[in-house]
Amino acid sequence: MVCGAANAQSMADASAAAAEKPLVVGVRANPPFVIRDDAGQYHGIAIDLWNGVAKALGRTTVYKQADDVDTLLDGVAAGQYDVGVGALTVTAGRAEKVDFTQPFYRGGIGIATRESGGWLHGLEGLASTGFLKAVGALLLVLLIVGIAVWLFERRRNPEQFGGTAAQGIGAGLWWSAVTMTTVGYGDKAPATLGGRIIGLVWMFASIITISGFTAAIASSFTIGQLSTVVRGVSDLPRVRVASIAGSTSESLARAKGLAVVSLDDPAKALDRLAAGKVDAVLYDAPILQARIHSGKADDLTVLPELVREEDYALAVPRDSGLRKPINQALLRIVESPAWQDTLDRYLGADR
């Protein structure tokens, strides 16, 4: 009996020691879920949640930084970390190697794009290559016609097409322009047979010329707008898309057959979007919203429609005894009014 009592006491002491041992929590910095400041301290949506859970469990925490999501999950699966905290979305593949707690946030994969610039955005078409080529071609045709009519009229009609070569060609250019636009001021008109033939041919040819010019300009503006305006997932196949390497959003993009530019940081992806190097960023909507909310890119926005809904949760080793008490504490936190204040603080009240 003495031996049994001693064994029971030893087991109780071991349990008490285990309960007092700090929990090793693997984290992967990814604002707004996990933010690491200059002093090396962590905060964010998931960190604030975990601190509340740890307090409810009466446990202390030792944070260990993981390089990426795969490293974090592998560490949890191997028992290197007691808990994994970050922007961890629950997927079937991940659930094969770790267990997840109850979700603490429901979000998903979203699309960040540039907002339409209204009339300023339309003016960008004036500097497009297509527009400049069309204007250059039109001026060249007008110049050729102007020179041709000047060559016929310079001697027989010096009152209207005379003077120096520059003056005569200028008069011919003016005549070809007003004839093409059907304005026909009447201040200049060819008098020779050759000049009139050119005028007759040019009147009919200018109908085709002005129609082609109008079509080229319209096409330049339309193509420019269609290549950059993204309103939903159906627009992604025809635009330049960036995503984050190793993320569920990158996997989804490749599954849809999209040509994706893979980057290692959402901040870099949004910088490319702001610079016009890509037209859309496909990634976790709350992360994109937080980055835009805290940044200086006023012309970026996250579309309201999610590409796919996803749940965010904490990760624990398979069959971990911590899962149940963590879930109980977690649910009490996310059901409290204070949790909405936490989300507003990191994501903005207009999320």
Q: In percent, how much of the chain has pLDDT > 70?
A: 84
Q: What is the pLDDT confidence band of residue 6, given thresholds at 50, 70 and 90? A: very low
pTM score, whole prediction: 0.63
3-class state of residue 293 by DSSP: helix
Q: What is the pLDDT of residues 287-325, one digit of tens each?
A: 998 888 877 567 899 999 999 999 999 999 999 999 999
pLDDT for 293: 80
Mean pLDDT of 146-154: 90
CB neighbours (10 Å) of residue 264? 11
User: Are the C-beta atoms of residues 95 and 316 closer than 8 Å to each other?
Assistant: no
Instruction: Answer yes or no: is pLDDT of 120 > 80.
Output: no
The per-residue pLDDT of the chain, averaged, comes to 86
Q: What would the two tokens of residue 67 be?
A: 């390089």
Instruction: Answer yes or no: is pLDDT of 238 > 50.
Output: yes
Q: For 147, list phi and psi in degrees, rounded to 5.
A: -65, -40
Q: What is the pLDDT confidence band of residue 108, given thresholds at 50, 70 and 90? A: very high
Mean pLDDT of 93-108: 96
pLDDT for 206: 84
Mean pLDDT of 127-148: 83
At position 265, the amino acid (one-letter code) is D
Q: Residue 88 and residue 316: Cα distance in Å, rounded? A: 11
Q: What is the set of domains in the chain, with CATH numbers? A: 2-104+313-347 (3.40.190.10), 126-224 (1.10.287.70), 229-302 (3.40.190.10)
Task: Report which of residues 12 and 350 the model is more confident about.
Answer: 350
Q: What is the pLDDT of residues 137-146, one digit of tens each?
A: 889 999 999 8
Q: Residue 29 and residue 122: Cα distance in Å, rounded? A: 39
